[in-house]
C-alpha cells in the first residue's frame, strides 16, 4: 500500500532520537488468522470459503531522562492469502514524548482513542479506520500529529495539529467487499479541499473526572475520516464507487458515570458538513453481576440506543437502532472473556449479531474467536451490502 503523505520528517526526526539513546525494550505479537465465509460472494472476483493471513505488530519502547522522555515505535504488517489490498504495512506509532509536571508534548505518528460506548464510537475522530483489517472499524491507522497536553486541577486539555490525511483502506477486488459487490476505486479519490491529503487538520479536547463522572469535550476541524461514495467508472468502463472526503467541523461530548455495579455511557456529536449540520448519539448502560453463582466470574448486561437525526439520509446504518449484549469475564488466570450481542434496527427487520471471545494459553499465547452474522437486510438499508458477509474468525497470537 502506497502512503499518500510524507513520513520522511517524522521518521528521520524520531529515528534520530532513537539512535541517540541506549537500547530500549521490544515487545509485541505475531498472529495467524483464519476466516471462514459460509455464503458465496456477491462478485465472481471475490474468494469463497476460507482465507488465511499472518500479521505482526512489534513494539519498541525506550525511556530516559528519569522517565520524562519516551520513544515508541510500533510498526504493523499483514500478509493476506487472497486480498492484495489487505496485505499492507503501516506505522501505528512513531512518537517522541517529553513530559513535565503539568504538560506533555508528543511529536510523531500516533494512535489514540476517545469514547466510552460499546456499539460505536462517535467522538473517536483523530485516526483513520483500517477497514481491511476488520469490518468492525476498531483497527486504526497511525496519524501524524503534534500534541500538547496541559495538565491542570480542573482537567487536561489536549491540542492537536494533524499534518497529513490518511485515506481509509478498503478491500481489493479479490477480497470480500462490504459494498454490495461493487468495487471501491481509491485511485480516483476526491477531496473537497484543494490541498487534498495535505490539508492540515486541528483538534482540541478537554477531559476530567469529577467523582463518579468521567467527562470529555472535543472539537475537530478538517477532513472527514468517513468518506462519501460517488458513482463512477474505472479505466475499463466498469461501475465503481469513488471515495469523497469533505471538510467538517465536529463537536463531541462523552460521559461515563460509575455507580457501584452500574455504568451509564453517552457519546454525542454535532457535525457541520457541506449540506448542513446533523446530530448523532449513542447512549446506554452496563450493569455487572459480580461473583455470579459464588464464583469469581462477572456477568455484565449491556443496552445502548443508536440515533442519527438524518434518518434515511444518514451515511450509517445505525440511525435508529438498539444494541443488547452480555459480557462474561471469568476472572481466571487465562483472562477468559466473552462478549455476545446484537444490534437491531427499530425501523426494519435488519439485525446484526456478534460474538467476541478470547483466552490466554500459557504465558505467551492468546486464542481469539469472532463471529459476525448479518440477518434480514432489506434492499434500502445501507447494510444491504453485508448480506453475504457473515464470517467466523479464529486468531492465534504469540506475544513476546
Cα–Cα–Cα angle for 283, 159, 97, nearest 5°? 110
CATH number of the domain at 315, please: 2.40.160.100
Query: Other CB atoms closer than 10 Å to residue 270's CB: what's the count?
Result: 16
Q: Is residue 128 part of a domain?
A: yes
Query: At residue 383, what are phi and psi to the nearest 5 degrees?
Result: -85, 10
Q: Is residue 38 part of a domain?
A: yes
In angstroms, rounded to a whole number, what is the distance separating the alpha carbons of residues 291 and 330? 9
Look up cell 460474538; give the residue: 355
Q: Is residue 2 part of a domain?
A: no
Give the range of the structural domain holding residue 199, as residue numbers without chain letter: 8-399
Spatial strand order in the sheet of 228-233: 190-191, 239-245, 228-233
Mapped onto helix, strand or coil, the DSSP state of residue 92 is strand
List the beta bridge partners of residue 167: none
Q: Is residue 114 part of a domain?
A: yes
Q: Is residue 339 part of a domain?
A: yes
Q: Is residue 367 part of a domain?
A: yes
- Would you give per-residue pLDDT tens digits along the chain (400 residues)? 444 444 455 455 555 555 555 578 999 999 999 999 999 888 888 888 999 999 999 999 999 999 999 999 999 999 999 999 999 999 999 999 999 999 999 999 999 999 999 999 999 999 999 999 988 889 999 999 999 999 999 999 999 999 999 999 998 888 886 655 678 899 999 999 999 999 999 999 999 999 999 999 999 999 999 999 999 998 888 888 999 999 999 999 999 999 999 999 999 999 999 889 999 999 999 999 999 989 999 999 999 999 999 987 888 889 999 999 999 999 999 999 999 999 999 999 899 999 999 999 999 999 999 999 999 888 888 778 788 889 999 999 999 9
Burial of 42 (0-12, 13-18, 19+ CB in 10 A): middle
Q: Structural domain tally of the chain?
A: 1
Amino acid at each position: 500500500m502506497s502512503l499518500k503523505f510524507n513520513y520522511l520528517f517524522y521518521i528521520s526526526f524520531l529515528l534520530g532520537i532513537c539512535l541517540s539513546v541506549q537500547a530500549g525494550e521490544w515487545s509485541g505479537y505475531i498472529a495467524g488468522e483464519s476466516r471462514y465465509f459460509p455464503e458465496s460472494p456477491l462478485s465472481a472476483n471475490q474468494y469463497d470459503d476460507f482465507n488465511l493471513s499472518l500479521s505482526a505488530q512489534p513494539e519498541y519502547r525506550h525511556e530516559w531522562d528519569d522517565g520524562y522522555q519516551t520513544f515508541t515505535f510500533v510498526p504493523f504488517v499483514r500478509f493476506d492469502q487472497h486480498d492484495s489490498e489487505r496485505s499492507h504495512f503501516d506505522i501505528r506509532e512513531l512518537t517522541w514524548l517529553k513530559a513535565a509536571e503539568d504538560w506533555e508534548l508528543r511529536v510523531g505518528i500516533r494512535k489514540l482513542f476517545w469514547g466510552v460506548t460499546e456499539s460505536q464510537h462517535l467522538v473517536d475522530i483523530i485516526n483513520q479506520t483500517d477497514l481491511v483489517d476488520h469490518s468492525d472499524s476498531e483497527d486504526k491507522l497511525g496519524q501524524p500529529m503534534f500534541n500538547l497536553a496541559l495538565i491542570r486541577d480542573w482537567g487536561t486539555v489536549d491540542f492537536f495539529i494533524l499534518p497529513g490525511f490518511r485515506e481509509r483502506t478498503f478491500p481489493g477486488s479479490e477480497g470480500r467487499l462490504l459494498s454490495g459487490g461493487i468495487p471501491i476505486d481509491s485511485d480516483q479519490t476526491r477531496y473537497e479541499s484543494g490541498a487534498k491529503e495535505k490539508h492540515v487538520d486541528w483538534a482540541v479536547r478537554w477531559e476530567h473526572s469529577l467523582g463518579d463522572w468521567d467527562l470529555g469535550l472535543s472539537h475537530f476541524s478538517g477532513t472527514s475520516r468517513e468518506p462519501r461514495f460517488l458513482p463512477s467508472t474505472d479505466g475499463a468502463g466498469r461501475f465503481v464507487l469513488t471515495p469523497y472526503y469533505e471538510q467538517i467541523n465536529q463537536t463531541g461530548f462523552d460521559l461515563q458515570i460509575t455507580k457501584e455495579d452500574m455504568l451509564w455511557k453517552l457519546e454525542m456529536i454535532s457535525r457541520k458538513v457541506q449540506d448542513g449540520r446533523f446530530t448523532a448519539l449513542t447512549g446506554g448502560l452496563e450493569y455487572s453481576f459480580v461473583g455470579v453463582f459464588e464464583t469469581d466470574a462477572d456477568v455484565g448486561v449491556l443496552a445502548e440506543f443508536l440515533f442519527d437525526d438524518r434518518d434515511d439520509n444518514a451515511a450509517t446504518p445505525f440511525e435508529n437502532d438498539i444494541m443488547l449484549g452480555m459480557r462474561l469475564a471469568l476472572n481466571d488466570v487465562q483472562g477468559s472473556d466473552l462478549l455476545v450481542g446484537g444490534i437491531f434496527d427499530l425501523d426494519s427487520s435488519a439485525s446484526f449479531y456478534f460474538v467476541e471471545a478470547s483466552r490466554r494459553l500459557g504465558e505467551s499465547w492468546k486464542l481469539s474467536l469472532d463471529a459476525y452474522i448479518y440477518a434480514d437486510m432489506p434492499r434500502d438499508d445501507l447494510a444491504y451490502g453485508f448480506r453475504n458477509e457473515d464470517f467466523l474468525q479464529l486468531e492465534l497470537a504469540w506475544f513476546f
